[in-house]
Amino acid sequence: MEKEITITVYGADQICASCVNAPGSKDTYEWLQAAIARKYGDANIHYTYVDIFSPPEDEKIQDLARRVADDEFFYPLVLVDDEIAGEGNPRLKTIYSKLEEKGLQPKM
């Protein structure tokens, strides 16, 4: 069985002020799931969405959510196994590259 990969999207309902004309965080979260499923099939990927203004009770997640809310990063911020793969208006090519570094192969 292949190792589970975690994709986490940090965002908010409000669109990032620096990301005018970019899709919202939840739209990006849903778009990523669909795009990744098309390319990699039913790979062992776990998706998580974190609202930066009401993160879960996990210190590590709360710290990163606070950093995003404090404008250290643009949102949506996309992580692949805790590595930043994109922010603001993330690019699929970069995210795919991170997934393939983790051993994921496109479906035939």
List pLDDT tens digits, range 4-46: 999 999 999 876 666 666 778 899 999 999 999 999 988 899 9
Contact of 46 with 8, CB cutoff 8 Å:
no
CA distance 44 to 53: 28
**Region of residue 7 (phi > 0: left; psi between -120 and 50: alpha; otherwise: beta):** beta
List pLDDT tens digits, range 45-71: 999 999 999 999 999 999 999 999 999
- What domains appear along the chain, each with residue ranges and CATH number? 16-76+96-103 (3.40.30.30)
